[in-house]
Amino acid sequence: MDDSYLDRLLSLFSEYDVPAAFWVNIQLTFYAAILSLVLGTVLAMMRISPVPSLRWAGSTYVTLLRNTPLTIIILFCVLALWGQLGIVLSTDFQRNFFLLAVLGLTVYHAAFVCEALRSGVNTVPVGQAEAARAIGLSFWPAARLIILPQAFRGAVAPLGNVLIALTKNSTVAAAGSVATEASSVMKTMIEFRPDVVVGIFFIFAMGFVVIVVPIGLATTALSRRLAVAR
């Protein structure tokens, strides 16, 4: 890479706010991660519930959402919820698109969180649930006090994988008109500065590496720390 190419590549940072673009993706990931964890936990409880209708509803949700492309879900939030039904999450125009993208990311990844937690439930010894019933606990108190805490310990690694996927999938928010996130800014940069297109790809690829690798290392370390000795 010659000096002139490097100078042209570095000049992009004075024309475009690349760190701010990644910050939008981080915010999308943060809010969607929290909401999908809450929704996914509810779905996981539905899927292991003794009530057949709840198991059916949870299973149907997971099957439908896991097999629907995320881009279609994001477009549905924008074109159907906002465009056709007039559902507004914020009076600020750009903020509304941001929240709709968070909604789409949440409902999609909640299905994967559900399955990650269900895999964690499978690590809980059957004797734990039997002991809970023996002391008179019904399903919901037993799930809340005994099963879920242990299931989360066993599901740290798969939940980390879901978080990594969510971080990368936050770029799909560009389909929902979130114009300030990383993939939108990269597209604009390539359109107006094709002379350094390879460098642009490298910048954004490394940006996501910097974000994703620490998540993987942290969840791996936490999984080992919280692992239950058998």
| pTM for this predicted structure | 0.90
Give the other-Cβ count within 10 Å of 208's Cβ. 18
Tokens representing residue 152 in the block: 């989360």
Q: C-alpha distances in angstroms, 176 versus 21, 33, 58, 92, 169?
A: 15, 18, 27, 15, 12
Return the pLDDT at 75. Answer: 93
Tokens representing residue 199 in the block: 């460098």
Residue 185 located in a structural domain: no
pLDDT in tens, the chain (230 residues): 556 888 888 888 888 889 999 999 999 999 999 999 999 999 999 998 888 999 999 999 999 999 999 999 999 999 999 888 888 998 888 899 999 999 999 999 999 999 999 888 887 777 777 777 778 777 788 888 888 888 888 888 899 999 999 999 999 988 887 877 888 899 989 998 888 899 999 999 999 999 999 999 999 898 888 766 55
Residue 129 located in a structural domain: yes
Return the pLDDT at 55. Answer: 92
Residue 213 located in a structural domain: no
Q: By C-alpha distance, which of 6, 24, 61 is closest to 195?
A: 6
Tokens representing residue 215 in the block: 């998540």
* CATH number of the domain where residue 122 is located: 1.10.3720.10
Domain that residue 101 falls in: 23-179
Return the pLDDT at 108. Answer: 97
